[in-house]
């Protein structure tokens, strides 16, 4: 009979998580073989054994909030798979053009109807802005889009470059509300097809190309949720591209998830099942990449808003799941639930953040006026 190793049992105890306890955040074990899988590789073992139905938890978001608040990620011994992953990340550029296509196939091209059911009308798949005025997810996402437009100081007739555009929500909002023109780059065929249909007749051009192929001169540049796919070996070249594409006096807005400390890899489970090759930057890594390149005008952190955004996505996902269960299957359901709620716990515990950086090419005369 498998038994939970003493070191792992101690970690659960420190986080006040009980095996087969009665509280929403307690782990309910259905198969004790899960213990060996978790002990062998906490990240993959915990996630895969959950996907396989070996354990359950009523409130996974609370489970992960408690585990991460107890800093379990710093107390778990590295597994062979983790060490291999770190070595690969250091030796290889896992976010080069060829490898970057994988995340589009694995994650973004799984079905527009599925994402329509989970997201808002602008199909925003990044953190919403719950600024007190938001009445729900759709309102909070529009508040985020307007916040970005105001920070960029968009003006009618300006030409905007968007690097990594998702389903085109920012481009559509900026064109409709601020009278600008947008050229946007994206490697997801499904997203570009959806975006082109929604923006038909608007001054928006969606290019099915890697962001590294962007050319031209623009008044403003935006990258909303792209930096998580750029990789630490490419941060400098990414920022150099944005700088090169900006006209004199231009502004670059960078919206990204961030980590509290520098790493060179992503969580092994997330890397395998959700965002292949993904990596979250630290403030130090971004600071080094922008050194002597941009003037940092503003660094806005509002990561707790992502907790609320993820819980809203999860509620929509659960509500709409009966429409998709036959197509995607039970293992996908458990995978997606684990993904959304573990991320919510991560933001709630403040182990990961959301940042919006306003970077100017030459420094804004008179200073940047703080916008929130």
Q: Which of 164, 226, 239 is closest to 195 using CA atoms?
A: 164
DSSP string, 281-338: PBHHHHHHHHTTT-EEEEEEE-THHHHHHHHHHHHHHHHHHHHHHHHH-HHHHHHHHH
State the DSSP H helix or E strand holding residue 193, giving kind and residue range, or none if neither: helix 189-198
Q: Name 160's Cβ contacts closer than 8 Å, sequence gap at least 6.
A: 152, 154, 171, 174, 180, 181, 182, 183, 218, 219, 220, 221, 222
Q: Could you tell me the residue ranges of all domains in the chain?
A: 6-89, 98-303+350-360
Q: Per residue in 121-164, pLDDT tens?
A: 999 999 999 987 678 999 999 999 999 999 999 999 999 999 99
Q: Per residue in 275-299, pLDDT tens?
A: 998 999 999 999 999 999 999 999 9
Q: Which residues belong to the active site? A: 343
Cross-strand bridge partners of residue 183: 161, 205
Q: CB-based burial of residue 95 (10 Å sphere; 0-12 exposed, 13-18 middle, 19+ buried)?
A: buried
CA distance 335 to 348: 20
CATH number at 98-303+350-360: 3.40.50.150
Q: Per residue in 5-48, pLDDT tens?
A: 888 888 899 999 999 999 999 999 999 999 999 999 999 999 99
For residue 284, give Cα distances in angstroms to 42, 258, 263, 319, 351. 27, 10, 10, 40, 16
Q: Per residue in 249-277, pLDDT tens?
A: 999 999 999 999 999 888 899 999 999 98
The reported pTM is 0.94
For residue 248, give Cα distances in angstroms to 22, 243, 367. 61, 9, 16
Confidence grade of residue 73 (pLDDT, cut at 50, 70, 90): low
């Amino acid at each position: 009979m498998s038994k939970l190793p003493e070191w792992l049992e101690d970690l659960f105890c420190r986080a006040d998580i009980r095996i087969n306890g009665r509280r929403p955040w307690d782990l309910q074990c259905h198969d004790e073989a899960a213990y060996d899988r978790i002990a062998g590789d906490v990240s993959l073992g915990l996630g895969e054994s959950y996907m396989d139905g070996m354990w359950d938890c009523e409130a996974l978001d609370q489970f992960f909030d408690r585990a991460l608040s107890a800093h379990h990620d710093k107390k778990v011994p590295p597994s062979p798979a983790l060490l291999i992953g770190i070595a690969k990340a250091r030796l290889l550029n896992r976010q080069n053009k060829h490898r970057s296509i994988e995340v589009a196939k694995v994650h973004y091209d799984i079905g527009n109807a599925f994402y329509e059911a989970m997201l808002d009308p602008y199909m925003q798949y990044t953190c919403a802005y719950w600024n007190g005025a938001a009445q729900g997810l759709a309102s909070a996402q529009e508040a985020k889009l307007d916040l970005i437009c105001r920070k960029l100081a968009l003006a009618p007739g300006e030409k905007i470059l968007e690097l990594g555009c998702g389903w085109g929500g920012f481009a559509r909002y900026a064109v409709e509300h601020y009278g600008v023109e947008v050229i946007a780059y994206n490697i997801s065929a499904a997203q570009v097809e959806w975006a082109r249909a929604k923006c038909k007749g608007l001054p928006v051009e969606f290019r099915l190309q890697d962001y590294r192929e962007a050319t031209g001169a623009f008044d403003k540049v935006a990258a909303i949720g792209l930096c998580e796919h750029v990789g630490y070996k490419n941060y400098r070249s990414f920022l150099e591209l944005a700088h090169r594409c900006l006209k004199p006096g231009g502004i670059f807005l960078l919206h990204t998830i961030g980590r509290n400390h520098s790493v060179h890899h992503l969580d092994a489970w997330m890397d395998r099942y959700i965002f292949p090759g993904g990596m979250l930057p630290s403030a130090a890594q971004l600071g080094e990449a922008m050194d002597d390149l941009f003037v940092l005008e503003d660094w806005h952190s509002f990561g707790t808003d992502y907790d609320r955004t993820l819980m809203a996505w999860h509620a929509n996902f659960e509500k709409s799941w009966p429409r998709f269960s036959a197509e995607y299957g039970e293992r996908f359901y458990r995978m997606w639930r684990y993904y959304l709620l573990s991320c919510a716990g991560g933001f709630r515990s403040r182990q990961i953040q959301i940042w919006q950086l306003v970077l100017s090419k030459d420094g804004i005369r008179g200073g940047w006026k703080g916008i929130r």
